[in-house]
Amino acid sequence: MDHNEDKRFRVAGHEALIGIALVLINFLWWYGFAFGLGGQQVSDYDWILGMPEWFFYSCIVGFFLMVLLVIIVVKYMLTDIPFDDEGDDHE
């Protein structure tokens, strides 16, 4: 089987790039809120539900955002491909 002609490898590469994009979005969200809002004295923190604001936005809201993004990506962007060889007819 030639990997250059098999569309499954092209699809897998595309979906791997989508996965990397999700990881980068997650990291940038977490880093931005954790170090953007968390780089001050503890006495200056704002609190949400008993948690520091930076923690709430980076870890709690970020988690739910990523769950939503993964659901959207899996539902609308990823494709179902067969694992068996195309044109292979043995049972």
Q: What is the pLDDT of residues 18-75, one digit of tens each?
A: 999 999 999 999 999 888 877 778 888 889 999 999 999 999 999 999 999 999 999 9
Are 51 and 72 in contact by the 8 Å Cβ rule? The answer is: no
- Mapped onto helix, strand or coil, the DSSP state of residue 20 is helix
62-76 and 7-37 are packed helices; what angle lies between their axes, rounded to 10 degrees?
Answer: 160
Taking CA 26 as the corner, what is the angle to CA 19 and CA 29, rounded to the nearest 5 degrees? 150
pLDDT digits (tens, 9 = 90+) for 60-77: 999 999 999 999 999 999
The CA distance from 48 to 11, in Å, is 42
0.85 exceeded by the pTM?
Answer: no
